[in-house]
Chains A and B, each alone.
Chain A
């Protein structure tokens, strides 16, 4: 299994500002994923972060709004830029592992963001 630590666990931010969320994994992983869970909704993948290359963004998400860093195999950051109330969500970091690699996703506790 993988243990994932996310910081901060929650934050209240002013509109127009930016917040950087950190994700630390206790083992080296090739791929890290960032998801968003809007209030009362399911999880939506924002992007896949690979070490040493640009993140791959899903439809509807762009790098200018959600820049991602992946400096090594155990760490990644997601920045939510120029925030608006619509960005209020839970943001989750995830990695894939398991005995058969690629078969189980582990999630951090999430960052609960409220934009006012």
Chain B
């Protein structure tokens, strides 16, 4: 079984400031790691994922996350946030296997970008 911990339920930040959203996971098997974003009144969208290879993964809108196996972490960062980044961010894990598998989600972090 897997579990995901997002310690920060809310993160307020000013526009153009850097931000880090923390995610730690627990699993007895190898996992895939994901960050999903949910904009107000919209569905879940995949932001980025770690499957294998380079431990640093990036999204098209400037977010990045680094897989740290020793610390079992997958923190999400952005060097300069924009007002449009205001959303709920969910970290998730799934067991590393082919054919599809269920996701275990963290409780989410509400990122609020202020002017």
Contact with B along A80-103 (1 / 0, CB 8 A): 000000000000101111001111
**Which single residue of chain B is at the shortest CB-CB distance from A29?**
B100
State the Cβ distance, B48 to closest chain A Cβ, in Å. Answer: 11
Given the known interface contacts A30-B99, A30-B100, A100-B51, the answer about A41 and B107 at a Cβ–Cβ threshold of 8 Å is yes
* B103 adjacent to chain A (CB < 8 Å): yes
Q: Would you call the interface of chain B mostly helix, strand, loop, or mixed? A: loop
B43 touches which of A31, A42, A48, A110 (Cβ 8 Å): A110
A48 to B49, CA, bound (A): 22
A105 touches which of B46, B99, B106, B107 (Cβ 8 Å): B46
A104 to B98, CA, bound (A): 11
Given the known interface contacts A103-B49, A105-B46, A109-B43, the answer about A31 and B107 at a Cβ–Cβ threshold of 8 Å is no
Chain A: interface residue total (CB-CB under 8 A): 26
**Which single residue of chain B is at the shortest CB-CB distance from A4?**
B43
* B101 adjacent to chain A (CB < 8 Å): yes
A97 CB contacts on chain B under 8 angstroms: 100
B102 CB contacts on chain A under 8 angstroms: 33, 45, 48
Judge whether B108 and A42 touch: CB under 8 Å.
yes
Judge whether B98 and A101 touch: CB under 8 Å.
yes
A100 to B44, CA, bound (A): 20
A94 CB contacts on chain B under 8 angstroms: 103
Judge whether B101 and A96 touch: CB under 8 Å.
yes
State the Cβ distance, A26 to closest chain B Cβ, in Å. Answer: 15
A110 CB contacts on chain B under 8 angstroms: 43
* B34 adjacent to chain A (CB < 8 Å): yes
B binding-site residues for A, Cβ under 8 Å = 32, 34, 42-46, 49, 51, 90, 92, 94, 97-108
